[in-house]
Chains A and B, each alone.
Chain A
Amino acid sequence: MLYSIIPDEEIWAETDEVGIYELYINGCMMQVASMDGKSGVIIRILSTDPQDYLNPKYQPGTSIPFIQD
């Protein structure tokens, strides 16, 4: 049950799927947009540690290659 000021029809409006993934990179959870699965562009960091947001490697818009552990 939603309790929101945004009308339901607006919330549930379907849009094209984009390749956005939630990953842990070096222990920090972030949302990454990736086309090829080899590298991605950081959309946002999902961390409560304010210092993670100051990490120059994790700035939104930064592209990062990833290798699975």
Chain B
Amino acid sequence: MDLSQAGHYRHDSFSQLNIQGNQDLARHSALQNIRNLGQMNLPDGSSVFHVLPIIGQVEGHLVLPPRNKTTKYEHVIPQLVAIEQNPRIKGLLIILNTVGGDIEAGLAIAEMIKSMSKPAVSLVLGGGHSIGTPIAVAADYSFIAETATMTIHPIRLTGLVIGVPQTYDYLDKMQKRIIKFIVDNSGVSVQQLREMMFRTGELVRDVGTVLIGEEAAHCGLIDEVGGLGAAISKLQIMADNLENIDTRHQIYPFAHQYLPFMYTGIGRN
């Protein structure tokens, strides 16, 4: 079978492993789980909140070499569309541990998250650097773990660069659209963000600033310092609020049916 061709595959429950019966199958998978991960199987249930992990490099137009762990644009965008459309899903938790990546792909994901009608909460764990910043602030509410870091630094042009003033203008334009998105979607001011972005002396080989946990929340970039529990309860509150609004809207369409009767008295006596 040629696996390089995209397609849908199925597997018939470990048939090649010569296991008979569901109990044996469950026991086998539990054993395999302990062997591979050192953990027991977890109980089953259904989730109303979906999770979108943004890990490694954000991959866009160019396929990165396989040693890079990547989050691919073409995986994430359809998933966001599916989440937006599925009525069973009440909210989205975005977990970031990214080193940055493609600007276009990163901003595209950020714009998709921003324009979602369902509640979205982001949680920066480990690191949410470079293009991870717009993705983190795109959510309705953002959290950062106490030990997580965010590197705010300018974009760079590498490779063969034409040494004309227009090159700088282009770079500045690209920089501005990232700054604009971050400022529009968080509590940080343009001046503050620019100052952090072009600060010297803090990064060894680069200009920029590293924000750790509380610092990111203090400057207004991230809403709050917190972890998984806080993020899920925030999502729950937002989903509940949205549901209450929805119920109110559902009553209005029927108003034209019962209001005339109330005013004319038809139906009473």
**Which A residues are closer than 8 A to B by beta carbons?**
1-6, 8, 11-15, 17-27, 29, 34, 37-40, 46-51, 54, 56-57, 59-62, 64-69
Which size class do B's interface residues fall under? Answer: 35 or more
Choose among A6, A34, A48 the residue that contacts B57 (Cβ–Cβ < 8 A): A6
Choose among A2, A12, A50, A60 the residue that contacts B100 (Cβ–Cβ < 8 A): A2
Smallest beta-carbon distance A29→chain B, Å: 7
Quick check: A4 and B44 within 8 Å, CB to CB? no
Question: Which of B1, B45, B92 has the most CB atoms of chain A within a 10 A radius of its CB?
Answer: B1
Q: A3-B130, A4-B131, A67-B12 are in contact. List 8 more A-B contacts (CB 8 A).
A: A1-B104, A1-B155, A4-B99, A18-B66, A21-B3, A22-B75, A51-B44, A56-B33
**Which B residues are closer than 8 A to A by beta carbons?**
1-4, 6-16, 26, 29-30, 32-33, 36-37, 41-47, 49-52, 57, 64-68, 75, 79, 82-83, 92, 99-104, 106, 127, 129-131, 151, 153, 155, 157-159, 174, 178, 206
Quick check: B99 and A59 within 8 Å, CB to CB? no
Q: List 6 A-B contacts (CB under 8 A).
A: A1-B155, A1-B157, A5-B130, A6-B57, A37-B1, A66-B10
Quick check: B153 and A24 within 8 Å, CB to CB? no
Cα(A15)–Cα(B79), bound, Å: 30
Residues of A within 8 A of B14 (CB): 57, 64-65
Cα(A24)–Cα(B49), bound, Å: 22
Smallest beta-carbon distance A52→chain B, Å: 9
Cα(A37)–Cα(B178), bound, Å: 43
Residues of A within 8 A of B1 (CB): 37-38, 66, 68
Cα(A40)–Cα(B16), bound, Å: 12
Known contacts A51-B44, A57-B29; A21 and B4 CB within 8 A of each other: yes
Smallest beta-carbon distance A11→chain B, Å: 6
Residues of A within 8 A of B151 (CB): 5
Question: Which of A18, A24, A26, A64 has the most CB atoms of chain B within a 10 A radius of its CB?
Answer: A64
Closest 7 CB pairs of A and B: A4-B100, A61-B36, A48-B50, A56-B29, A66-B9, A37-B1, A15-B67
